[in-house]
Amino acid sequence: CTACLQHLLNESDLKSTPNETSLYNCAFDEDFKYILLPVSYALVFVVGLILNLTALYTFLFRIKKWNVSTIYMFNLAISDTLYVVSLPLLVYYYAKHNDWPFSEGLCKVVRFLFYTNLYCSILFLSCISVHRFLGICYPLRSLYWSKVRRAQIASCGVWAIVLIGQSPILSFVTTSEYSYGTYCHDTTKKDRFPQFVTYSNFMLALFFCVPLTIVIVCYCLMAKRLLQPSSVGPEKTKSKQKSIRMIIIVLTVFVICFLPFHVTRALYYAFRRHQLSCGTLNAINLAYKVTRPLASANSCLDPILYFLAGQTYRNRLLTRANETRNKRRKIINKLNP
């Protein structure tokens, strides 16, 4: 019968195409991603690796006395560095048109690192925001939470929650053999996709919606307090400017990197489960694929937060830059007497 023949054709298409398909076998046009993803991931790798290694060097060897913000930023830099070192594998994979030459275990690790970095970034930025909120709005109460030991415990808690929460990724993600090569799923196989969507929605609520709500509430209350007229000295004015810079940077990271990715991904997963037109599915698939590099770009934007919002970090980095510049001048003067 015609329906049976069409079903067989669709099943054959599933086995021969490197592109993802919807649950009712609607082929996606994804040729664009074989240029977009390798180029964008390569850029994030180069820029992110340089910035985050510089940040780690500054934290470890240039800043002697750490405070609460330093601890959160240091953990954020570790998370970003672990992720960016995995990007060359994805650059190669997408440049080869979805042909994964490495092991299935490495496929799982690469996908796991993406989500681990994503949600570690969100939670550590939330910790920084809450810490700043308490310092601005509840300065006396914040003294209890402004101890390095408590920030270390909170950081360990963030890592534990994220690693446990993302551990199912290691089960969902797998590889599949097709005529063109080996496919490294960024979600899961077709038969487990409904379960993956349920899990993904739970992670969305827990690791994105809740932190985003907390950050917005904190920043609204902080902005209200900072905009109140008051006669303050130069130190207080600098502190206000620092807080305003941090508000702008963190919200920028959320709006540019995290919000578009989570919105398009939620729509992408939801639409794949309903009988929508192929044009609609193709459009949302395009949007989802475009926002994935934006989510990765947080690894490049986070070090900007360290520089603009961290006075000690900025001073140490500028001092190091001046020392390097002076050494170069001395060498040049010796070579050209």
pLDDT of amino acid 63: 84
**Which tokens go with 128?**
């920084």
Residue 241 has pLDDT above 50, yes or no: yes
Nearest to 11 by CA among 213, 152, 178, 127: 178
Residue 11 has pLDDT above 60, yes or no: no
Q: What is the pLDDT of residues 149-167, one digit of tens each?
A: 999 999 999 999 999 999 9
Do residues 94 and 37 touch, judged by C-beta distance below 8 A? yes
Residue 41 has pLDDT above 50, yes or no: yes
Out of 6-20, 214-228, 271-285, give the one with best mean pLDDT. 214-228
pLDDT of amino acid 217: 94
Do residues 261 and 295 touch, judged by C-beta distance below 8 A? yes
pLDDT of amino acid 114: 97
Cα separation of 59 and 316, whole Å?
Answer: 9
Do residues 49 and 17 touch, judged by C-beta distance below 8 A? no
Cα separation of 81 and 55, whole Å?
Answer: 10
Q: Say what angle helices 298-309 and 104-137 make with each other, to 10 degrees.
A: 30
- Which residues 6+ apart lie within 8 Å of 231 measured at CB? none
pLDDT of amino acid 17: 43
Provide mean pLDDT across the span 19-38: 73
pLDDT of amino acid 233: 57
Cα dihedral angle (34, 40, 46, 51), rounded to 10 degrees? Answer: -160
The domains of the chain, with CATH numbers, are: 30-226+236-324 (1.20.1070.10)
pLDDT of amino acid 305: 79
Residue 262's identity, in one-letter code, is H
* Cα 41 from chain centre: 12
Provide mean pLDDT across the span 271-276: 77
Q: What is the pLDDT of residues 287-322, one digit of tens each?
A: 999 999 999 999 999 888 777 765 555 555 556 656
pLDDT band at 3 (very low <50, low <70, confident <90, very high): very low
Q: What is the pTM of this model?
A: 0.84
Residue 229 has pLDDT above 90, yes or no: no
Q: What is the CA radius of gyration of the chain?
A: 23
Query: Which residue matches tokens 């959320």?
Result: 254
Nearest to 76 by CA among 145, 147, 159, 135: 159
Residue 51's identity, in one-letter code, is L
Phi, psi (deg, nearest 5) at residue 177: -90, 130
Cα separation of 70 and 310, whole Å?
Answer: 8
Q: What is the pLDDT of residues 73-116, one digit of tens each?
A: 999 999 999 999 999 999 999 999 999 999 999 999 999 999 99
Residue 129's identity, in one-letter code, is S
pLDDT of amino acid 22: 46
Residue 128 has pLDDT above 80, yes or no: yes
Phi, psi (deg, nearest 5) at residue 188: -165, 180
Reduced to 3 states (helix: H, G, I; strand: E, B; else coil), residue 17 is: coil
